[in-house]
């Protein structure tokens, strides 16, 4: 099947892919987003636009994706099921495809209690796996999930998130399999600090044949400081930051912590490249987008393959 997006093409050609992430602003003017986006141009094969991440209201991922597409970047549209029912989700998927957006990452979303609208109703009409199934049904059968025929089909390259570090541990690879069965073609993982645990998960995935069926991109978030490392270790659900990583950050001089975090990120990318079954890297440098080109350069991943038209 012809790859429908630049990201899909690069992955299907067996090249080590790079995706990055961009958080839209808490306002109606997309300029800050465009500024962040332009830092990533030429550095990433595709850029994720988050969907009201941590349940904080932001410029919609759909509008943000169009803004970056107009700059010549290829977006990955993130869609959460927390805020919209199946009517709105299917409608938005049609809308996304009509605007030329192809990469769609299907997520459940952080609970609304984390955000700034804590009294909001959490919709959760569908979960992420049902959303994948829905998008694939629309794409491959040209139907909505009730069976209604579409007048024209959308085109998607479908993705999902995977967390090798969340509980229950024994179930994580089964969940990955379910996502791929439901239609996930590429996977972006939670950011990796615990290599041992990631390798164990990857090994299991490989044994289940999952690395053959979907492209797995390892998540990387460069640590800016010891405080950030400690915060992520204790306050963020589903995050695994081993003690030795925190010690390493502490070992760096106060002004050099960021540089140490970048060094660690580069080493992790190089290690990922060496693992069999990893198809690329997903750089989540939220608020630190300007460092992405530097990290990729150091990891030998620049220049990126040219975008086909």
Here the tokens at position 21 are: 């992430």
State the pairing for strand pair 103-107/75-80: parallel
Nearer to other proteins, 115 or 154 (CB): 115
Handedness of CA 106, 194, 208, 270 (dihedral sign): positive
Q: Are 250 and 186 in contact (CB under 8 A)?
A: no
Q: How far is the CB of 68 from other proteins (least distance, A)?
A: 25
Rounded Cα distance, 214 and 176, in Å: 10
When binding is defined by CB under 8 A, the residue of 161, 269, 292, 299 that contacts other proteins is 161
Asked if 78 interacts with other proteins (CB under 8 A), we say no
Count the neighbouring beta carbons within 10 Å of the beta carbon of residue 196: 9
B/e letters for 212-246, b = 16+ CB within 10 Å, e = fewer, are: eebbbbbbbbbbbebebbeebbeeeeebbbeeebb
Asked if 136 interacts with other proteins (CB under 8 A), we say no
- Contact segment (CB under 8 A) with other proteins among 23-31, 104-112, 196-204, 260-268 equals 104-112
Q: How far is the CB of 248 from other proteins (least distance, A)?
A: 23
Asked if 111 interacts with other proteins (CB under 8 A), we say yes
- Residue 142 burial (CB < 10 Å; 0-12/13-18/19+)? middle
Rounded Cα distance, 271 and 269, in Å: 5
When binding is defined by CB under 8 A, the residue of 103, 134, 188, 268 that contacts other proteins is 134
Asked if 72 interacts with other proteins (CB under 8 A), we say no
Contacts (CB under 8 A) with other proteins, residues 176-195: 177-178, 181-182, 190
Here the tokens at position 123 are: 């919709």
Which residues, including other chains, have CB under 8 Å from residue 241's CB and lie 6 or more apart?
A: 193, 194, 229, 230, 232, 233
Asked if 228 interacts with other proteins (CB under 8 A), we say no
Here the tokens at position 127 are: 């979960």
Nearer to other proteins, 57 or 236 (CB): 236
Q: How far is the CB of 213 from other proteins (least distance, A)?
A: 15
Q: Are 197 and 164 in contact (CB under 8 A)?
A: yes
Asked if 126 interacts with other proteins (CB under 8 A), we say yes
When binding is defined by CB under 8 A, the residue of 12, 127, 298, 302 that contacts other proteins is 127
Contacts (CB under 8 A) with other proteins, residues 230-269: 237-238
Asked if 50 interacts with other proteins (CB under 8 A), we say no
When binding is defined by CB under 8 A, the residue of 12, 15, 108, 204 that contacts other proteins is 108
Asked if 155 interacts with other proteins (CB under 8 A), we say no
Rounded Cα distance, 162 and 216, in Å: 9
Helix (H) or strand (E) holding 280: strand 280-283
When binding is defined by CB under 8 A, the residue of 168, 253, 276, 303 that contacts other proteins is 168
When binding is defined by CB under 8 A, the residue of 125, 199, 230, 294 that contacts other proteins is 125
Total residues in contact with other proteins, by rule CB under 8 A: 36
Nearer to other proteins, 59 or 160 (CB): 160
Residues in the site for other proteins, rule: CB under 8 A?
82, 86, 108-111, 113-114, 122, 124-130, 133-134, 145, 161-163, 166-168, 170-171, 174-175, 177-178, 181-182, 190, 237-238
């Amino acid at each position: 099947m012809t790859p429908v997006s630049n990201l899909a093409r690069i992955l299907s050609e067996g090249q080590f892919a790079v995706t990055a992430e961009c958080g839209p602003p808490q306002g109606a003017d997309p300029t800050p987003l465009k500024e962040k986006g332009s830092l990533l141009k030429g550095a990433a094969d595709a850029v994720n636009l988050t969907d009201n991440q941590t349940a904080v209201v932001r410029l919609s991922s759909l509008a943000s994706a169009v803004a970056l597409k107009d700059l010549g970047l290829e977006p990955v549209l993130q869609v959460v099921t927390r805020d919209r029912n199946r009517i709105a989700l299917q409608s938005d998927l049609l809308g996304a495809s009509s605007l030329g957006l192809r990469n769609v990452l299907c997520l459940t979303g952080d609970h609304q209690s984390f955000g700034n609208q804590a009294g909001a109703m959490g919709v959760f009409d569908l979960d992420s796996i049902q959303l994948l199934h829905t998008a694939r049904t629309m794409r491959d059968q040209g139907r909505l999930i009730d069976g209604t025929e579409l007048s024209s089909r959308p085109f998607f390259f479908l993705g999902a998130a995977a967390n090798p570090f969340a509980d229950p541990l024994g179930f994580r690879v089964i969940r990955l399999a379910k996502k791929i069965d439901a239609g996930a073609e590429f996977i972006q993982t939670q950011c990796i600090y615990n290599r041992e645990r990631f390798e164990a998960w990857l090994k299991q995935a490989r044994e289940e044949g999952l690395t053959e069926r979907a492209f797995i991109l390892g998540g990387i978030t460069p640590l800016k400081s010891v405080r950030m490392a400690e915060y992520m270790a204790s306050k963020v659900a589903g995050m695994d930051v081993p003690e030795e990583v925190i010690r390493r950050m502490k070992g760096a001089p106060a002004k050099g912590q960021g540089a140490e975090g970048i060094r660690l990120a580069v080493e992790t990318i190089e290690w990922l490249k060496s693992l069999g079954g990893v198809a690329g890297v997903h750089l989540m440098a939220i608020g630190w987008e300007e460092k992405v080109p530097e990290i990729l350069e150091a990891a030998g991943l620049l220049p990126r393959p040219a975008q086909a038209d």
